[in-house]
Structures are given as C-alpha cells and as structure tokens.
Chains A and B, each alone.
Chain A
Amino acid sequence: MRRETTGYGLRVMGLVIALMLNLAAFAQSNLTYDLKVGTTGENRLLAEFPESYAGEKVNIRVTGYGLQVTGYGLQVSDSLDYIFADKPQPLAEQFDSIYQYTDEGDVKWTVWRNHKEIKNRAQRVLVTNAYKTFEGYIHEAVEEHRSHGWIWFVFAGLLLVGVGIYGCVIIWQRRKERNLTPVEQEMLRRKRMGMRRHYGSQLYLWLLLLVLYAPIALIAVFSFTKSKILGNWTGFSMDLYVNLFTGQADAGLNSAIWYTVVIALVAAICSTILGTLAAIGIYNMRARQRKMVSLLNSVPMINPDIITGISLFLLFVALGVSQGLATVCIAHVVFCTPYVVLSVLPRLSRMNPNTYEAALDLGATPAQALRMVMLPELWPGMLSGFILALTLSVDDFGVTFFTKGSGGLETLSTFIYSDARKGGLTPELRPLFTLILLVMLAVLIYINIRNNKEEEK
C-alpha cells in the first residue's frame, strides 16, 4: 500500500515540475512586450527612444545614487552629478531642490515623495538623459539580445523533460499495477476514489507552495548563469560559485559575509552560555519569581525588530558609545538569548533534579557538577538553542540596521538592503543564497529526524 502513495507523490512532483517549467517559459516570453523602455515600477515613462526598439525591455532606474540602466546583460550606471554636468543652469537648480546629499553621498528619499509632481517631471527628464548617456550600450545590448533567440529552445527542451518525467512515472506505475491480483487492483481503485476527494486540497497546497517558492526558485535557477541581471539567462555557468569561493566577488560582499559569520558565532556562543545559566537559575526559582523572569524573557521575543533596534540605538546614543561590531554583537545577544532559555528549560524539567545535589554531596565542586552532571543532560537543548541563535542572528536585519553605526560595518542583510536600494543585486549573492537555502534545508531535516527519533523513544 505504501508504494502507491510514493508513486502518487512522484506524479504530483512531476506535474509541479512541468508547471514550474511552463511558468518559467511564460515569464521568459514576456520579454517581448510592446512597451518596455522606461523606468520600472509605476512610473514607467516613455522616453525618446527610436521606433526600432519597441518591444525591447531596458530598465532605467532612478536609484539613490543616480541612474542605472539594466537589461539583456547590460548594467551601466552613472551618478547624477555627471549627468547634469552639461545641463543649463536653471535645470540643475531645479534638481538641487530634489536631491539632497547626505554624508555618504546618498540621496534623501523623503524629498522625492513630498514633491510628486516634481518627481514625475524629474524622472521623465532623467530617463531621457539616461538614454542619451547610455545610447551606445543600450544599442549593443539590444542587438546582442536579438541574436539570442535560442533560449526558447532551451525552455521548450526543459518543458519536454518535465512532461517526460511525468509520463515515465505514470507508465512505471501502471506497469507495477499489472502484476497485482484483481482484488488488490480493486482495492487500489477504491483507494484512488477516496484520494480523488482530496485532489482539490492537494492542488491548493501545491499551488501555495509553488507561489511561496517561485521567487526563491528564481534566484536559485539564476545562480547558475553568469549574467549580472536576474532574469537574463546567458547560458549555464558555475562562474558565480567560483567567484564566491575564490573571493573574487565584490569586496563589500566578502566583508559582509565575514562580519555575518563572526557576529553570528559570537552572539550564538554568548547567548548559549548566558541563556543556559539563566535557564538553570530560572528553573530553581520560586513560582512568582519565575513568572516575573519569564515575562522579562518574553519581552525581546514579542518586540518587533524595529523597536528592539531603536531602543538599543537610543541606549547607545544616551551612553555615548560609538556603534560598531561590539554594539551589534550585544544587540544580537539580546534577541537570541530568550530563545536559548526556552530551548534549555524543557530539558531541565525532564532531568532528575537530585543528581546535581548528589554530585555536590559526593564532593564535587559546583563547577565539576555542572560540567559532569548537568551539561551532558542539557547538551541537546543547548545545541538547538545555539543553532536557533545562529539562524536568528544571520537572518536579522532590523536590529543590525540600527546598531551598526556609520563606520561602514555591513552584515549580509544590511548589504542586501543597500544593494537593493541602489537598484541591483550583486550577482554573487545568488549562489550564496542558494547555498544558505540548502544548509537551512539540511538543518531542518536533521532536526526533524532527531525529534522524530526522540518521540519514538
């Protein structure tokens, strides 16, 4: 009976793969829309483009740093200073009221939003200027794209493979069924009838998963191509992975990875030690005290990132501490420790409370008793707390953002944020993200298997 269910799952998988490939092909086909030349987003504006470019998609983004033109493997950008260098004076003045440079050379976005009309007008001018500035590049990229029609065949091939897998699974299943006795076949038929009732539910879940994983799959798929722009397939290549591991990626990304790892390790180790000690303390408290401390413990978990981040930011400002690596680490310990406490506490209540006392009675010092009696018992809880702290720390954006200071410290999250605000995504982030996804999947599966084993015990 089991085998049929697996076959059924495989069939659904085949169908999903076929659907996804279809979707990918569909997304690719949208490259030939009529009007594509303009800015992205709602302010899609037509600039002075030649007629022959109709139907090509070149994105011109007005980003915090200036202009960025992307599309067909093309990625060129320029600062606003340069673009306005040769503009007549009145126009430049007009733009000064829109752009306000901060210390880092960034543009204040607030001004954009407050003057919607100026903004629209400015964007129109900007797009036209950008086209003029990058005319040569855009022309080259579009021509090159037009000679790359073969991508269609790749997608058609992939679609065929998907359908083929689906077909093979069905044939393989039918084959197996032929060997069954009539009674078994009848039972199978009835079972299928029962299952059919669930087709709607199954479909709903799989569709939901499809939507949930579409963006993730997009990044994972495009990590295997060299192109600078996501969504532009320039042939299979492992170059991005090679770049990532040989340190040829963007310098900012490299340092962000290192800082993320260092901060996550420091925060996880500190919070595991602090949290475990705290859990032992809390467990031995009287009921009322325990309730108070538990309430305190739940505060950082309830607080959203932004509140934790801002309140710590205010603390560091009030104390006059300059913000940097140390403050980020402290902040991460703050929101990681409660989770460690919560993963160690159940272990404590499962263990015999008298063993520690017995060790003391037998002449062990508290440190020895802790090391030789408590630690072996608490180890699994500490480990899952540690892993939880690691993932929380790596994942965090809000708290890091407010406590990292202005010294140029970036973790992965903040790096992605500033990268995305500039209008692009460093290509090496794609393989990195794919690897993180795989590691997460492995960790989840491992923990699940371990939990299942414990349940069986």
Chain B
Amino acid sequence: MSKVLHIFSSRRTWAWPYILFMAMFVVMPLILVGVYAFTDIEGHFTLHNFAKFFSHTEAVQTFIYSIMIAVFNTAICLLIGYPAAYIMAQEDFKTPKVMAMLFILPMWINFLLRTVATVELFNMCGLPLGEGALLFGLCYDYLPFMIYPIYNTLQKMDNSLVEAAQDLGANRWICFWKVIVPLSMPGVYSGIVMVFMPTVSTFAIAELLTHNNIKLFGSLIQDYITTTDLLNYGAVLSLVLLIIIALTSFFGDHEGSGEEKGGLL
C-alpha cells in the first residue's frame, strides 16, 4: 500500500495516464495509417496502393491542384493579413484592443456556418460559385489565422530597434524592409503554416463553395476512406497528405504554431 502511495506522491507519474492515452489514440492511429497504406484488403503487405496512386491521374491532378490552391490562398492571406497586422501593431496608431479581438472572433464561429453564409452571400449578390468563390471562402475562413501570429510577433517586437535604425539614418521604407520584416518572420512562418495546413487538407469547404464542382484532395480522401473496399487506397492518400503536413511543420517553427492557436484565449 505504501508503495502505491509513494508512486502517486511522485508527481512525475501523474502524466502516465495521459501518455498512455496519447500513445493509444494519437501514435497508434498514425502508425495504423501507414500500416493500412502498405497492406491490401486481406492484410497482406503490398505496394499496389502506391502504384495505384501514381497511375491514378485524377488523384495526382487533384493533389497538385489542392497544393496550388493552398499556396495561392496562403499568399493572398499573407498579402492581406500582413498589412492589417502591421497597422494594428503600430504604436502611434492606438488600436483599441477590441479591434484585434474583432479579427480573431470569426475564428471561434463554426467554419461550416461561415462557409454556408458565404455561399448565401454569393447567391444573394448574384455571383457565380466556382474557383473565385472557393478562394474567397478559403481566404475568408483562414485570414484570422494569418493575422493573429503576425500581430503577436509585431507587438512583442522591441520598438527601440526601429528607433535605432531611424537614428542611424534609415528612411521608413528601409526601416520596414531591413528591420521590421526580418523581425516579424517567426510570426509570418507560423501564420503560413497555420493557413497552409488546414487549406491543403480541407474537405467540406470546397464542396459547399463550388456545389461540388471542384474537388480538393481532402474530399478525395474522404470519398475513398469511407468506402469500405477502398479503405487502403484512402490510407495511401492520407499518408501523402501526412507527409506534406510533416514537411510544412518542419518548415515552420512547429512547436510555436500550436501554441499560437492555444494562446488565443
């Protein structure tokens, strides 16, 4: 009995349930994606699924198209979001904190409802649904994820560095490019990761915004994984997506990106 008590009084062990839980429901499932990808429906090892992916023109095309859409969306979000974050973080601009909050608030509203609302807005204004609507909707959904981290880094930035640059004779333009932009790069990176990753894996948004005329990689995965006899092929597609995600998160500061989202509250 005393031994049991001793174990519990060592607080290090309190994390064990969580570690076990994570091993069971995070690590195991991810390994299973790999296992399913390399097996056929009877559970024998095979590379057939991968061969199928590379010869499946529709899948490869959708994959490339999704990545392009994601890159475009990230670029648009960056172009729109950076100035907004920069303006809000300006010292002499005296933005009320409410303004920054107003930009974050839409993030906490169900994105499906927002997407449906966007569709209705397009319908109401008589605009056609299609690629344009898709890009607008994606940008609309993920813009806050770009603004927030950049705003955060810019706000924490040491303003005396800017002043020093000005004292040394830099004009506003040089000061912006040589001091502010490099200093805000961590925020930009995590913004890019936070926009790119959900965009590349999105599946419901594209379906709703284009009346299912444009298919993104996420919808393709969804189609295959929910069909019982094509489950293994779906696993291959998920694995491909997983690799892209892993690459992206290595590109960004991977520990930072999660904390940004958690730090919103």
Q: Which residues of A contact B (CB under 8 A)?
A: 5, 9, 27, 30, 33, 36, 40-44, 59, 61, 109-110, 112-113, 198, 201, 204-205, 208-209, 211-216, 218-219, 230-231, 274-275, 277-278, 280-285, 289, 293-308, 310-315, 317-318, 330-331, 333-334, 337-339, 341-343, 356, 360, 365-366, 384, 387-388, 391, 394-395, 397-398, 401-402, 412-413, 416-417, 420-421, 425, 429, 433, 436-437, 440-441, 444-445, 447-448, 452
Judge if B16 is at the interface, Cβ distance under 8 Å.
yes
Residues of chain B within 8 A (CB-CB) of A402 are: 225
A44 near B262: Cβ-Cβ < 8 Å? no
B32 near A444: Cβ-Cβ < 8 Å? no
Residues of chain B within 8 A (CB-CB) of A9 are: 96
Residues of chain B within 8 A (CB-CB) of A306 are: 201-203, 218, 221-222, 238, 241
Judge if B261 is at the interface, Cβ distance under 8 Å.
yes
Listed residue (A278, A307, A360) with the most chain B CB atoms within 10 angstroms of its CB: A307
Residues of chain B within 8 A (CB-CB) of A289 are: 12
The answer for the CA separation of A331 and B102 in the assembled complex, in Å, is 30
B128 near A277: Cβ-Cβ < 8 Å? no
Residues of chain B within 8 A (CB-CB) of A280 are: 11, 14-15
In B186-219, which residues have CB < 8 Å from any A CB?
A: 197-198, 200-204, 207-208, 210-213, 215, 218
Contact flags B1-25 to A (C-beta < 8 A → 1, else 0): 0000100111111111111011001
B130 near A330: Cβ-Cβ < 8 Å? no
Contact of B15 among A59, A282, A412 (CB under 8 A): A282
Residues of chain A within 8 A (CB-CB) of B12 are: 281, 284-285, 289
B interface secondary structure, majority: helix
Judge if B150 is at the interface, Cβ distance under 8 Å.
no
Please give the distance in Å from A294's CB to the nearest CB on chain B: 7
Please give the distance in Å from B255's CB to the nearest CB on chain A: 6
Residues of chain B within 8 A (CB-CB) of A110 are: 223
Contact of A293 among B15, B87, B126 (CB under 8 A): B15
Q: Which residues of B contact A (CB under 8 A)?
A: 5, 8-19, 21-22, 25-30, 32-33, 36, 80, 83-84, 87-88, 90, 93-97, 99, 101-106, 108-121, 123-126, 128-130, 140, 143-144, 197-198, 200-204, 207-208, 210-213, 215, 218, 221-223, 225, 231, 234-235, 238, 241-242, 245, 249, 254-255, 257-259, 261-262, 265
